[in-house]
Amino acid sequence: MIDYFKMIKDIIKKHKFLLSVFVVSVAMGGFLFSYFSYNIVALVDGKIIWKKDMDETVNLMIKYYDTDSHHSVTEISDSEFFQDKDLLNRMQKEALARIIDYKILISELEKINPDWKDLATAKIDDAISQTESADKFEEGIKAIYGMSFNDFKSKVLMPQAQFEIISDELKNDGKEYDQWLKDEKKKTEIKIFIDGLMWKDGEVVID
């Protein structure tokens, strides 16, 4: 009579290393799947939008609106926007829409003006030079938005400079930015992976 238990033990003993590799691979695969499933919020023509970037944009928007309405908060999570799920959902919708627009803008900018980085940096430096005091300006950014000046440059000033550059480039070609963007969004493959939000007719909408 065949001893199946002994047979299984012998197989495990003989292929212990390969089985260990297989188990680790399955475990890592599950971890990576969970990680990417949780952290990827959208794809724009295959380019990833990370949850971290969307959260940062939401926090920046909330900080701006709270400051604009004279509602000062020490922690973003204390904001009234986090107390109202519908409001927060609308903020996420707006934030994701902005990032998608930005992804499309950058893709086009790379095509039509490869030197855009130098031009954008020059625009930012010129704007900063016109402030009365660079030190006070940086202090104000820290106090109002709760971020370093370098972060403010990369997350606020740089996108604004990029927008101005591509608007000028499109104008030179006889195109208007809003209509161009609307047309591009219809041609772009966009997938959204956030509960409560979806892509429909070229826009982020609340599901």
pLDDT tier, 191 (very low <50, low <70, confident <90, very high otherwise)? very high
pLDDT top residue among 156 and 42: 42
d(CA 131, CA 40): 38
Q: What is the tens place of the pLDDT at every residue in 86-96? A: 877 888 899 99
The answer, yes or no, to whether residue 204 has pLDDT greater than 60, is yes
pLDDT tier, 180 (very low <50, low <70, confident <90, very high otherwise)? very high
The answer, yes or no, to whether residue 63 has pLDDT greater than 60, is yes
pLDDT at 16: 54
